[in-house]
Amino acid sequence: MAANLTKRAFKYRFYPSDAQAAELSRTFGCVRKVYNLALAARTQAWARQERVNYNQTSAMLTAWKKTEELAFLNDVSSVPLQQTLRHLQSAFTHFFAKRARHPRFKSRKKSRKSAEYTASGFRFRDGRLTLAKMADPLDIVWSRPLPQGVKPSTVTVSQDSAGRWFVSMLCEDPSVKPLPATDAALGIDVGLDHLLTLSTGEKIANPRHERRDRARIAKAQRELSRKAPGDGANRARARRKIAKVHARIADRRRDLLHKLTTRLVRENQTLVIEDLTVRNMVKNHRLARAISDASWSEFRSMLEYKAAWYGREVIAVDRFFPSSRLCSDCGTVREKMPLSVRKWTCLCGAAHDRDVNAAKNLLAAGLAASVCGAGVRPQRSSPGGQSAMKQKTSRREP
């Protein structure tokens, strides 16, 4: 029974002592060093038409530790070093399967500072977490309890660009189980004027978190620009001040998206969205800032993994489906509709709100694709004609 439980990450902020912060900083540096060394070795081997796997890089790590130049790798726990080799193996697996790009080297300034510990690298007793090479437990702020009677299988410690420390514990959560089935279905149209427009007619305002703090960001960036390149401590403090503003924006945005996606998944059995290519859309420099602030990709990711948790279904309708130009009453497709047109009237006499009409059309297309199983390939509609059903896609987070 336990094998069927959903694994869920519980993230907490903690405040390390000076000794713990120094130990973790050393660990982050060693993890980055081992990852880069292993990546270089695998890249060079590939140029010689040879393949190197995890077991071979693990043997390399043992040899590196015995050298005078890399003897400092013995000063930190070996568990995070082995884990970073496993992560590199996964990255190459996805690369060879053409699911991801070739792994890149980790930068000291730009890469994420993190280290993952498996069960042999930490001790969790009586609600106190102690990592390997540390005498005292971490001072964790328990903002919510862990599932009762459950111990974490892995622990990931990280530090963000604002200098905050976090620990993420992966646990089996018995509270995550499918919700009672319902007949409710919902079409969701994302936008900039309104963050979400639902097929029920409800519109959820776009809080524009980044715009609200834009003046604060500009002020912090001006202060950074006045710091001399060689002024290490002062420049680092100014850079951290900018990072804190961005962290505040990201926290507010993530909190809102969690609340929205949880509500939508709990209330509806089927949720239909549009399969947008946000990566291409942000190439429009006039809208890139607003699109990034809306965080449509993060919204979709949250919606999909929560739907998988609770036994719901998310259907993505092809991006070429003319949801805004299609009349939800008669099925007529308008030839053109500029973004400035927010309300329009069809030849059949039906008056439409652009976004509500789009959400209704997405819902109808998604439900039709669900009934048919696999939809047909998208076909561009001729002026005045009806659009064909779009291909149903299935992309759910594990």
For the annotated catalytic residues, the residue numbers are 189, 274, 355
- The tokens for 320 are 């070429």
Q: Is 208 left (phi over 0), alpha (psi -120 to 50) or beta?
A: left
Q: Is 97 left (phi over 0), alpha (psi -120 to 50) or beta?
A: alpha
Residue 174: phi, psi to the nearest 5? -70, -15
With beta carbons less than 8 A apart as the criterion, state whether 297 and 341 touch: no
- Cα(261)–Cα(194) distance, integer angstroms: 16
Which residue's structure tokens are 């994302």? 190
Which amino acid makes up residue 265? V
- The tokens for 239 are 């850079």
With beta carbons less than 8 A apart as the criterion, state whether 132 and 79 touch: yes
Closest CA to 6 of 178, 180, 172, 169: 172
- Cα(321)–Cα(380) distance, integer angstroms: 8
With beta carbons less than 8 A apart as the criterion, state whether 369 and 317 touch: yes
Which amino acid makes up residue 290? A
- Residue 171 CA, chain-centre distance (Å), reads 19
299: exposed, middle or buried (C-beta count within 10 Å: 0-12, 13-18, 19+)?
buried
- Strand partners for 168: 11, 156
